[in-house]
Amino acid sequence: MSDVVRLERRGAIALITVNNPPVNALGVAVRQGLLEAFRAAEADAEVRAVALVCEGNTFIAGADIKEFGKPPQAPSLPDVIAFIEGASKPSVAVIHGTALGGGLEVALGCHYRIARGDAKVGLPEVKLGLLPGAGGTQRLPRLAGVAKALDMIVSGQPIGAAEAVEHHIVDELFEGDLVEAGLAYAHRMVEEGRAPRRTGEQTRGLEGADNEALIAARHAEVAKRMRGLFSPLRCIAAVEAATRLPLAEGLRRERELFAECLQSPQRAALVHSFFAERQASKIADLPADAKPREIRSAAVIGGGTMGVGIALCFANAGLPVKLLEIDDAALGRALQRARDTYGASVKRGSLSEEAMEKRLKLVEGVTDYATLAEVDLVIEAVFEDMGVKQQVFEKLDAVCRPGAILASNTSSLDVNQIAAFTRRPEDVVGLHFFSPANVMRLLEVVRGEKTSHEVLATAMAIGKKLKKVSVVVGVCDGFVGNRMIFQYGREAEFLLEEGATPQQVDGALRNFGMAMGPFAMRDLSGLDIGQAIRKRQRATLPPDRDFPTVSDRLCEAGMLGQKTGAGYYRYEPGNRTPLENPDLAPMLEAASREKGVERRTLDEAYIIERTIYALVNEGAKILEEGIAQRSSDIDVIYLNGYGFPAFRGGPMFYADSVGLDTVLAKVKELHARCGDWWKPAPLLERLAAEGRRFSDWQPGQ
């Protein structure tokens, strides 16, 4: 028996145990072990039934994602499952944790399934650009029906054990010890003389509904809602095969569609995104013994949009948090904002009244700094002005206990300078949340020169506790995300001077997959924010450096975006739908005239290169300066904070997939035509010359 799959005889029951940490993934050794174990159980005349359990935190959580893209190794998972299903002795899968993907497919190959009450089951393959490729699209509909199977397979979302029982995916729930429950159920199967109940032979789930109409409706809906994605429609095609074909043919069709998804560049990008997010939590030079400090309570300074959003993150995580404002009136407004934010969720039905009240009780409004003496972590979220930050941090340094961590939510100011306002720079760190802070998953953990290892480890731990995707970044203007978005936004604005309209630029980038175009995004956040940043940047650049002017003209005309009813677009009162702003066209004409530029029609490919390559070139500089640890960290920032499409893997992965030689050639052409904003990053030049990719690069190489 292999060391990842064990077979034991418990009386007339064969107990098969998988033990392949951390998630019992179905690597080749596990597949071999399972096949050997089920074969041995089948051949053993003393064995009357089989129970399959897993050690560790979870039942099998899927195929081994690391194997994708590598030459397949026998036995294939479908073959293992076919043997399990075809066995003559009844088998039961004992599910705990998350039975996902191939894990649920193995369980569906077993004849019966029991699950612990807190377990979940799901088929998340679509999130990796795939589809359930080991019978899930054929067996799940036969148990749960086509509608439920489509819901689970197209969304990739798991369901709880009780819901799985409701939909005949799981037979019954159990509590307590896995092995005991498995053996007890197996004994019951023997005593009741139960025969193997082969899922592939079930038909109930395929009957009683107009599956053809269901499939057609779902296809139309997904084609619209998941535009640009490759695998969701193939998921539907595979389930459609189950409604029409006998199992063997349906399985063949599923394998064909699975192979198409496996070859798709979207699968490579989505798998990259999966591992990149997990890699981001690893800090290369953090000593193993750097233990996080315990955070039992927090405080947020500033009850504006960001401050309240951050406070709600703590309340959502069940941590008490003080929210400090300058006076009772401001505090009242802040607490009302907190209540209104939760109220919207209650109205949407995503939060119960009871849960809202419980969380609001965790938010304590204060106006006196002295009340912060015992908190473990303070996050400042006041106005983006260094003078104001200095006042706040000097006060915090005076009142907070030794060992309390002082964090700033600044979106681009110098965290080292902020740390220097205190006598404890080693306890100062940046925690850059993204608006709305209680929704956006991204957290840039800004590591100051003096930030201690322990404080850095604590920042990462609290990020995880708040269910954020935390990425460590260094100190510079804009850190990683905003530093790159400045380039992207500026280039987008230059395109308006060259002849494009906001609709064309936003449309091209939405077709690329961005959640929102740059001009709709600027109208949302407010044009005045960009104006202040450009003013600061101008002070650090040569006077002859060219800047676009349209945004400044709009600000001068008081058109700041949604908040004033007009910016790049016009908005009807109370309506966020962007409409054409008739005042813009003359401004664009004037801007082009001022620059002596002949307006022309720009094609989508040019718009994408001009904007996305601006991200890439700046990302290469960020890597070379050590502001980000690895190119995949930059991808994680863009996937989780800036609406970059996961099916393209992030800006750096996208550049690798285009080829750095191609990217560099375009950057050089733009440098020649558009000036020093496009000076090629040395790292980009070097990697392109060496035929390498950003993902091959390590610091210092």
Q: Which residue from 13, 25, 313, 684 is in contact with ligand T1G, where contact means CB under 6 A?
A: 25
Report in angstroms how near the CB of residue 189 gets to ligand T1G at its nearest: 27
Q: Which residue from 7, 13, 14, 23 is in contact with ligand T1G, where contact means CB under 6 A?
A: 23
- 491 touching ligand T1G, by CB under 6 A: no
Report in angstroms how near the CB of residue 671 gets to ligand T1G at its nearest: 39
- 102 touching ligand T1G, by CB under 6 A: yes
Compute the distance between CA of residue 315 and CA of residue 302 in angstroms, rounded to an integer.
Answer: 16
Q: Which residues pair with 377 in a beta bridge?
A: 298, 405
- 134 touching ligand T1G, by CB under 6 A: yes
- By annotation, the residues acting in catalysis are 105, 125
Question: Cα–Cα distances in Å, from 627 out to 38, 473, 578, 634?
Answer: 52, 5, 36, 10
- 100 touching ligand T1G, by CB under 6 A: yes
Compute the distance between CA of residue 378 and CA of residue 299 in angstroms, rounded to an integer.
Answer: 5
Report in angstroms how near the CB of residue 73 gets to ligand T1G at its nearest: 13
Q: Which residue from 105, 254, 427, 633 is in contact with ligand T1G, where contact means CB under 6 A?
A: 105
- Angle made by CA atoms 350, 521, 380, in degrees to the nearest 5: 70
Does residue 20 sit in helix, strand or coil?
coil
Listed ranges 100-108, 221-229, 387-395, 511-519: which one lies at the site for ligand T1G (CB under 6 A): 100-108
Compute the distance between CA of residue 188 and CA of residue 98 in angstroms, rounded to an integer.
Answer: 25
For the segment 136-175, give every residue that binds ligand T1G (CB under 6 A). Answer: 136
Report in angstroms how near the CB of residue 206 gets to ligand T1G at its nearest: 20
Q: Do the beta carbons of residue 674 and residue 661 sit within 8 Å?
A: no
Q: Which residue from 17, 24, 91, 98 is in contact with ligand T1G, where contact means CB under 6 A?
A: 98
Token pair 């925690």 is found at 431
Report in angstroms how near the CB of residue 501 gets to ligand T1G at its nearest: 41
Q: Which is nearer to ligand T1G, 67 or 477 (CB)?
A: 67
Q: Do the beta carbons of residue 632 and residue 272 sit within 8 Å?
A: yes
Instruction: Transcribe 469-497 into DSSP letters.
Output: EEEEE-SSTTTTHHHHHHHHHHHHHHHHH
Going residue by residue from 37 to 76, which x/- string records binding to ligand T1G, judged by CB under 6 A? ---------------------x--xxxxxx----------
Report in angstroms how near the CB of residue 683 gets to ligand T1G at its nearest: 26
Compute the distance between CA of residue 536 and CA of residue 543 in angstroms, rounded to an integer.
Answer: 13
Q: Which is nearer to ligand T1G, 98 or 211 (CB)?
A: 98
Q: Which is nearer to ligand T1G, 130 or 660 (CB)?
A: 130
Q: Which is nearer to ligand T1G, 281 or 537 (CB)?
A: 281
Does residue 431 sit in helix, strand or coil?
strand
Q: Which is nearer to ligand T1G, 105 or 493 (CB)?
A: 105
Q: Do the beta carbons of residue 563 and residue 523 sit within 8 Å?
A: no
Listed ranges 124-132, 246-254, 338-346, 396-404: which one lies at the site for ligand T1G (CB under 6 A): 124-132
For the segment 250-309, give every residue that binds ligand T1G (CB under 6 A). Answer: 275, 278
Question: How many CB atoms sit inside 10 A of residue 264's CB?
Answer: 18
Listed ranges 21-29, 434-442, 448-456, 644-652: which one lies at the site for ligand T1G (CB under 6 A): 21-29
Peptide bond preceding 22 in cis form (omega within 30 of 0): yes
Q: Which residue from 90, 109, 129, 132 is in contact with ligand T1G, where contact means CB under 6 A?
A: 132
Compute the distance between CA of residue 461 and CA of residue 293 in angstroms, rounded to an integer.
Answer: 9
Number of residues that bind ligand T1G (CB under 6 A): 26
Q: Which residue from 18, 50, 53, 130 is in contact with ligand T1G, where contact means CB under 6 A?
A: 130
Going residue by residue from 505 to 544, which x/- string records binding to ligand T1G, judged by CB under 6 A? ----------------------------------------
Q: Which residues pair with 431 in a beta bridge?
A: 445
Q: Which is nearer to ligand T1G, 136 or 302 (CB)?
A: 136
Q: Which is nearer to ligand T1G, 102 or 182 (CB)?
A: 102
Q: Which residue from 53, 80, 119, 128 is in contact with ligand T1G, where contact means CB under 6 A?
A: 128
Report in angstroms how near the CB of residue 282 gets to ligand T1G at its nearest: 7
Q: Which residue from 50, 77, 247, 612 is in contact with ligand T1G, where contact means CB under 6 A?
A: 77
Report in angstroms how near the CB of residue 23 gets to ligand T1G at its nearest: 4
Compute the distance between CA of residue 42 and CA of residue 417 in angstroms, rounded to an integer.
Answer: 70
Compute the distance between CA of residue 114 and CA of residue 91 in angstroms, rounded to an integer.
Answer: 11
Listed ranges 96-104, 138-146, 244-252, 343-351: which one lies at the site for ligand T1G (CB under 6 A): 96-104
Listed ranges 122-130, 146-154, 195-203, 419-427: which one lies at the site for ligand T1G (CB under 6 A): 122-130
- The structure tokens listed for 284 are 């290369």
Strand runs labelled E in 434-588: 442-446, 469-473, 569-570, 579-580
- 236 touching ligand T1G, by CB under 6 A: no
Question: Minimal CA–CA distance to 338: which of 443, 438, 466, 435?
Answer: 438
Q: Do the beta carbons of residue 488 and residue 610 sit within 8 Å?
A: no
552-585 b/e (C-beta count within 10 Å ≥ 16 → b) = bbbbeeebbbbebbbbbbbbeeeeeebeebeebe
What is the 8-class DSSP label of residue 294? P
Question: How many CB atoms sit inside 10 A of residue 444's CB?
Answer: 28
Interface positions with ligand T1G (CB under 6 A)? 22-23, 25, 58, 61-66, 77, 98, 100-102, 105, 124-125, 128, 130, 132-134, 136, 275, 278
